[in-house]
Amino acid sequence: MEIVGIGNALMDVIAFVDDDFAPSLGFHNNATLHVARERLDGLVAALADSVSSAGGGAANTARVAALLGHRASFFGAVGDDELGRAYRDELEAAGVEPRLSASPASTGLFCALLRPDGGRTLLVSPSAALDLVLLPPPADVFRPGALLYLEGFLLRDKDFFMACLEGGRRAGMRLALDLGSLSLVRAQRDFLLELLSSGLDFVFANEDEFCALAELPFAEALDLLADAGPALVVKLGERGAVYAKGGERCESPVRAQRPVDDTGAGDAFAAGFLVGIDRGYPPERCLRLGNRMAEEVLRVPGLLVEGRRLRSAAESVSVQER
């Protein structure tokens, strides 16, 4: 099964800073902010201790799937600039087919400022990524037998989002949605609840997003939404993850660790889970494979994880089941 991701194409910049760095620039620690591109370019250029990697939720999921040996492609928008070319090259090197439309804007940036205590300040300038929705998705993005993985961030343009969803349905693809962010869920709650009964196969969310969708505590939210249609996969951070569909429930814990950076970990989890589904694993084992992928990504900044480490971790899940 090929995974076809559609979403924001963002170059991730991960920087290790002291406690006073973000406040010295006028940003509150732990904030998530959209920043004017000129200002973010200047900040990134001045960072002394940083790494970069091609990112964005759907791109990360496609990338981890490809590193595990599965076919994967990603459809997004980048600028005709050095970052856009680097973005394409990095996806190709990971084994992802890049389906990138060109924008006159600069390639999008996501900057995570990581403090010694593990706290993060996130600065985003999506720029060219937002231009993905200016034209309908090309028909050849939708491939029979593949799985379509959509970012919730695409809901900023519901016409484009629905064009993607309908294109996937017409092609007979399996459909997966990652809710994307707490603020998005709150803003689009009614629409998202309607989507649950529209033929989605999988919905991924973290605990806060899931509880906001139901406007209930977690256990009650799970009881309320488990019969809505899609399989629900909820990431619980240090408590692992839960799967629910109808009357079926299972969960998988995780090992305690201190992460280097959690950028992309949830996306890697989704890739592991979906690869497990493609391999015919039962849901509990899919959760374990997702958790192992996330653990490996948590050990590195951004998505700079080596493919051999991911494949070794995936093999360890397989060995446990023999």
Nearest CA to 21 out of 125, 119, 124, 126 is that of 119
User: Per-residue pLDDT tens for 143-186?
Assistant: 999 999 999 999 999 999 999 999 999 999 999 999 989 999 99
Give Cα separations from 259 to 55, 68, 232, 298 (angstroms). 18, 22, 25, 5
| Residue range 204-232: mean pLDDT, rounded | 96
CB atoms within 10 A of CB 187: 13
Q: 92 lies in a domain? A: no
Is the pLDDT score of 322 beyond 50?
A: no
Q: 112 lies in a domain? A: no
Question: What does pTM read for this prediction?
Answer: 0.95
Is the pLDDT score of 321 beyond 70?
A: no
Q: 163 lies in a domain? A: yes
Domain that holds residue 74: 3-7+57-87+134-320
Q: 297 lies in a domain? A: yes
Q: What percent of the chain has pLDDT over 70?
A: 98
User: Per-residue pLDDT tens for 224-270?
Assistant: 999 989 999 999 999 999 999 999 999 999 988 888 999 999 999 99
Q: 17 lies in a domain? A: no
> How many structural domains does the chain have?
1
Q: 299 lies in a domain? A: yes
Q: What is the pLDDT of residue 49?
A: 83
Looking at every residue in the chain, the average pLDDT score rounds to: 95
Q: Rounded CA gap, 95 and 89, in Å?
A: 10
Token pair 């890739």: residue:
271
Is the pLDDT score of 128 beyond 60?
A: yes
* pLDDT grade for 206, boundaries at 50, 70 and 90: very high
Token pair 């692992």: residue:
240
User: Per-residue pLDDT tens for 24-37?
Assistant: 999 999 999 999 99
Q: 120 lies in a domain? A: no
Q: What's the CATH code of the domain at 303?
A: 3.40.1190.20
Q: 226 lies in a domain? A: yes
Which residues on adjacent β-strands are paired with residue 100?
A: 76
